[in-house]
Amino acid sequence: MRTLSHPGAYASHMSADCLFCSIIAGDIPADRVLENDAVVAFRDIAPKADTHVLVVPRTHAPDVAALAATAPGELAAMALAAQEIADAECGGQFKWIFNTGEKAGQTVFHAHGHLLGGDLGGSLV
């Protein structure tokens, strides 16, 4: 385990031991489809639709509401990125899901939107 001499050894927008921070940093490979100053988007490792992309802010926040409170501009950038990807892959139409909390199915506690597109079959909502 890496020992830090002081907390500032990590950039403030990153969190140690966070899967998505590691993917953003390039330490863990992912099939990236879009990235800019605010957002990285990559394909979900276990896709649930023809298009299933995770849209992730560069700033670490545990869920979407925490992101809205701390970095609202990145939340807006996520929406624009999702639309751009959907325009390219699924005629501009998509479902966008933010699992928030364990009971809602959240397993990675770095805010992310699931962009789902294509034939979605029977949708929950």
Shortest Å, Cβ 10 to ligand 5GP: 20
Instruction: Check residue 21 for interaction with Zn ion (CB under 5 A).
Output: yes
Dist. CA 21–CA 13, nearest whole Å:
9
Q: Which partner in Zn ion, ligand 5GP, none is near 21 (CB below 5 to 8 A by kind)?
A: Zn ion
Whole-angstrom distance, CA of residue 123 vs CA of residue 110: 25
Per-residue binding string, Zn ion, 84-113, x by CB under 5 A, is --------------------------x---
Question: How far is residue 122's CA from residue 1's CA, in Å, rounded to a whole number?
Answer: 45
Q: What minimum distance in Å lies between the beta carbon of 53 and ligand 5GP?
A: 9
Q: Which is nearer to ligand 5GP, 4 or 27 (CB)?
A: 27
Is 112 annotated in the active site? yes
Radius of gyration of the chain (CA): 15
Near Zn ion by CB under 5 A: residue from 13, 15, 99, 108: 15
**Cβ pair 65, 100 in contact under 8 A:** yes
The closest alpha carbon to 74, from 29, 35, 119, 121, belongs to 35
